[in-house]
Every structure is written in structure tokens, then in C-alpha cells.
Structure 1
Amino acid sequence: MDFLLDNDLARWAVLLLIFAAVVTIAMIVTNAATQRRGMRSRLRAQTGSRGEAAAAAATGAARLRGDQQRGAWIDIVNELEKRGVNLVSTRDQGLRRKLVAAGYEDPSAPRVFTLIRTIATLGFPILILAYAFISGTNVGLASSYFLAIFAAGLGYVIPILIVQVKADKRQEELLNGFPDALDLMLVCVEAGLGLETAFDRVGQEMYKSHPLLARHFAGVVLELRAGRSREDALRRFADRAGVDEIRAFSTLLIQSQKLGSSVAATLRVYAAEMREKRRMRAEERAHRLPVLLAVPLVGCMLPVMIGVLMVPAVIRAMRTVVPALG
């Protein structure tokens, strides 16, 4: 203990070894639990191999329009899994939905995300402690431990925050262009086009103005042409978009098909409602501007205005009071 207290290098080495041991034990326990769940799921899934093959074929058909290239991250993931490292998350379905909403539609995206999060969780503490050691900063043992825990927490949280921000941005882009797409689809349906042809035409027309929404429409067309039912294609379209308005639109079209009602009348009412919602969102943002501008006005401009107004009076008072006091 005296040697550890006197030698900084030995103290840092012991701290890093303790941290690495804790992380290794946690990863071993997690991998063991994950492998056990995976073994059980494989045993249950042996009877449903045909359904899995059909789902894989459908996933391949949905990716006909994308340039999905195998990158270096996927190669790293495959190599690690060959060596026995399991990167499948226990919450794979929820994570996959978030990644799809953020634009990462590759089947290997959850495994790559787990690898990146693991690297960030282990790398952030090592980088911070290495920087403190190289710069000569005197950090105590307890402070180093809590700093490493804080850095590991940041490395664990930051990747999911980045994915969430990107998903929110894409959903906002879809939501802004959806009323225009409904108007174009209403024109196409009233002109006598079928629903599949209307989706195709709207996707072509909106490719430059709203490319993300156009790709989603093109995915629906590809699934319909590949033989998927209209109800299934619309539900998958809503799941990929992750927007409540698009999910309601898909449900509306499915119900119109089942009940035999007019698709044009349904689209007309829903398009008017979407335009009204977009106008209300714009008004809400406009009404929030005075509240948001109050902070910079009070913090930046108000002190300057007070200074400009009060400084001449203060100078005049000092010229009058100081000679009188003297």
C-alpha cells in the first residue's frame, strides 16, 4: 500500500486493472446470459424455419432500391462473432426499430451498434485517464475511479442519443413532406390511377423535394410488386417511418379497403386534416419565439441598455458629489 501511495504509475496501473476486471466480468456474465437466451430462441425457432425464410426473402425484396454495401464495421462484427463474441443485444427488436427509424436498415446494424457502444464505453475512460496521466494532472485514486465511471456512462449513452436525434430529424422531415404527398396522391387517385401506381407516381414526383419520403413510397411499391399483400405492405411502411400520422394513414387505407369505401374521399379528408396540423405546428413554433427570445434579450441586451442609460447619470452624480465631499 505504501508503494501504491508513493508511486503514481503503479496507482494508475492498479486502477486500470480494477476497471478492466469489472468490465470483463460484466461482459462475461452478459454474454453467458445472452447465449442462453439465444439457445432457447433457436430451439423454439426450429419449427418455424419456413416462416423465417419467407421473412428473409421479404427483407431482401424491400432492399432492392438501396445500395447496401458491406463495410469495415460489418467485417469486424463477423470476425468477432466467429471468435465467439456475441454482439446480439437482448433488446434486439426495440433497438432494430430505433435504428431503422434513424435510417440504418441493414440487418447487421444492431450488432454494429452494440460493438460501437462497447468500444465507446471502454475507450472513453481509457482516453481520459491516459490524458490525465500524460498531462501530469494529479488526480486521486477515488477521483480517478469516479471519473472513469462517468466517462464509461457517457460512452454508453452517447451512441443511443445520436441515434435518437437522427431518428427525430428523419421523422420531422417525413412529417413536413407528408401533406404534400397526400395532395399529390389525391390528385392521382381522382385521375383514375390505382393505389400502387399512385404510390409510384408520388414517389417519382417527390424525389427531389422530399427524397426520404420518396424512398419510403418506393419501398411500398416494391413490396406490392413482389407479391406482398396491400395491408402488410402498408403496415410495414408505417413501421419503417415511425410517425404517428403515417401510421394513421396506413390504418385508414386498410380500413377503406376492407369496408369498400372511396379511397379518394378518405384521402381528401385526411389531406385537409394534415394541412391543418402543419399550419398549427407552424403557428405553435411562431408563438414560442417570444419566449425563446426573452432569454438572450434579458441576458445580453438588457444589461447593455441599462449601462447606456445609467452611465451618464452616474458620471454626473460623481462629478457633483465627489468635489462636495472633498
Structure 2
Amino acid sequence: MTNLLPIIVAVILLVAGLVVLRYMGAWLRTRQRLAAAAEASQAADEAILVTRDSWLGRWLFRAGFRGKNATPLFIAANVFALLAGLLVAFLFYQSAVVTLGGSVLRAIPGAVGEVFLPLLWVSPILAVGVVVAMPAIFVRARRRTRIRTIEQDLPLSLDLLATLAEAGLSFDAALERVLETQRNRRPLAEEFRLFRLEILTGRSRIDSLRRLKDNVDVTWFSIFVSALIHAEQIGASLATTLRAQADDLRNRRRERALAQAMAVPVKLLFPLIICFLPGIMIAALGPIIFQIVQMLDQVIQNGFGGA
């Protein structure tokens, strides 16, 4: 019995340690969730402030720039781009690139290069315009990427919402389940989390849905949210509405894919004419033209020789 006592004590300590570790893990996970919720709430407050700003703030918000300093930073980036563009133009003129380019163009026989002289003269101004437009181009690219990602995630999320609603869950519970399967950095998940936080702050569901539609501003998503608002106003079945929207979205995606497939031959026509047909015509007609030229040369030489 004395020999078993250390083993029993060790087993008890091991079990107690495992229990403590389990509760500590649960406590840490709860703390992380609360911290994430606090960060999301702060982000939601900042997002709400941004959406009440000017059209520039709304444009940046829809592109994913949701900090309260997004608008001043964008304006500062434009000012910096303007100064950088002016510096580039100044270096163009100081380095005599325009003068050297003009000399090269004038040296081309037949005065062909003089056609491009006006373009060369305005090239520093064009460089300034390109550099100044870089911040807007970057934001526009982010906006397009965000729209494309939302359109990719929306069909699966809508199918999951419809399935969970048909299983008897409410919209909030179904949305919570869907958000558990979405990564935090996905744009659609961010919008749904912001929508849920606005409801938790006391805003009405219809008002939150309208703000959600305005924040995303994507055609397919706007149709889906409008259907939810209509169902909420008239008291229609949520499961039926979600299933109808999921089927309609699937049909629209199929029609869009078919339209893109039918447009492929038209898009291939231009590179075919510009790139492939000249080479094909040279390969097919080149030997014939060469033989014709040789025959004409012989005829001309014989004619002059006979004369």
C-alpha cells in the first residue's frame, strides 16, 4: 500500500493538471473571443463614422479602407503622388531626355518620327498624370478585388443560410453558424459581422439591412438584401425567401458564365487578326509573291536585253 501511494498521488496530480489545463484553455479562448468582439465593435464604430463622411469616405469604405483616418491618408497620398509626379517631370526636362528623343525621331528617314514629336513633348505631363492617378488606381483595384471576392463567397453562404433556415434556425442563428465557417479576412464575412454588431447595438433589422446594402454596393448582394428587407416587412417565410434567392443567384451565375463563354470568340477575333493572320498570310503567300517578283524581274531584264 505504501508503494502505491506515490503512484496514486501522481495520478491525482496528473488528472488535476489536465483539468486545470482544460479550464485554462477554455478561459483563454473566451478571452480571445471577447477581445475579437471588442476589436470588431471598435471597427464597427469607426466604420459607422466613415459611412457618415463624404462620398470619398464611402468610396474608401466600400474598397475596404475602414479606418477613421482613411480619408486624410488618401488625400495625403494624392498630394505626395502629385509632388512625385512633378519631380519626375522636372527630372525629364533636366536630363534632356525630351531633347535627345526629339533628335532621334527627327533622324528617322521620311519624317516619320516627326509624327510622334507631340507625344514626346507631352510625355512629362502624361507621367505626372499617371503618378497622380496611382492612389485612385490602387483603391479601384482593391474595390474590384473585394467585389469579385464577395461574388465568389455569396452563393455558398446563401446556400448555407437557406439550408440552416429550412432546418429551423432563425436568421441570426443561421448567420452565426455561417460566420463560424468563414475566415475573418473575407469581405463578405466582415460585412455580415458588421451587420450583426449594428443589430446588437440596438439598430433595427431593416435599417441594418439597408446600411449593409449601401456599404457593400454589389448588384447581386443588393438584390439578396432587398429580398430580405421585403420579407421582413411583409412577414414572409425566411427559409422560402433564402431558398428562392439561392436558386435565382445560381441561375444568374450560370447565365453569366454562358454569356462569358459566348463572348470568347469575339474577344479572340482582334488578336487573331492582328497577330496570327499576318504570319499565316506571309507563310502562305510569301513564296508565291517571291516567285512572281522573280518572274517579273526576268521579264523586265529580257525585255530590256531584247531592246
TM-score (norm 1): 0.65
Q: How far 1:298 moved relative to its partner?
A: 0.4
Which residue, 305, 317, 323 being the options, matches 2:280? 305
Q: Which residue pairs with 1:8 in the alignment?
A: none
1:205 aligns with 2:166: no
Which residue, 105, 114, 136 being the options, matches 2:66? 105
Q: How far 1:201 moved relative to its partner?
A: 1.5
Secondary structure, counterpart of 2:68 in structure 1: coil
Q: Which residue pairs with 2:41 in the alignment?
A: 61
Q: How far 1:145 moved relative to its partner?
A: 10
Q: How far 1:64 moved relative to its partner?
A: 6.6
Secondary structure, counterpart of 1:282 in structure 2: helix
1:315 aligns with 2:290: yes
Q: Which residue pairs with 2:55 in the alignment?
A: 94
Secondary structure, counterpart of 2:136 in structure 1: helix
Secondary structure, counterpart of 2:135 in structure 1: helix
Secondary structure, counterpart of 2:54 in structure 1: helix
Which residue, 156, 161, 167 being the options, matches 1:185? 161
Q: Output the amino acid matched with 1:195.
A: F
Identical amino acids, percent of aligned pairs: 29
Q: How far 1:309 moved relative to its partner?
A: 0.7
Which residue, 217, 220, 224 being the options, matches 1:245? 220
1:137–1:152: structure 2 CA closer, same or farther, 3 Å change rule? closer
1:65–1:92: structure 2 CA closer, same or farther, 3 Å change rule? closer
Q: Which residue pairs with 2:139 in the alignment?
A: 163
Distance 1:146 1:311 in 2: 41
Distance 1:152 1:199 in 2: 48
Which residue, 67, 74, 77 being the options, matches 1:116? 77
Distance 2:273 2:122 in 1: 37
Asked if structure 1 preserves the Cα contact closer than 8 Å seen for 2:60 and 2:139, the reply is: yes
1:159–1:216: structure 2 CA closer, same or farther, 3 Å change rule? same
Which residue, 236, 240, 260 being the options, matches 1:265? 240
Q: Output the amino acid matched with 2:167.
A: A
Runs of 5+ consecutive residues of structure 1 not aligned to the other structure: 1-57, 69-90
Q: How far 1:234 moved relative to its partner?
A: 1.9
1:133–1:280: structure 2 CA closer, same or farther, 3 Å change rule? same
TM-score (norm 2): 0.68
Runs of 5+ consecutive residues of structure 2 not aligned to the other structure: 1-37, 101-118, 302-307
Question: Over alpha carbons, which structure has the higher Rg?
Answer: 2
1:254 aligns with 2:229: yes
Distance 2:90 2:123 in 1: 8
The alignment yields a C-alpha RMSD, in angstroms, of 3.4
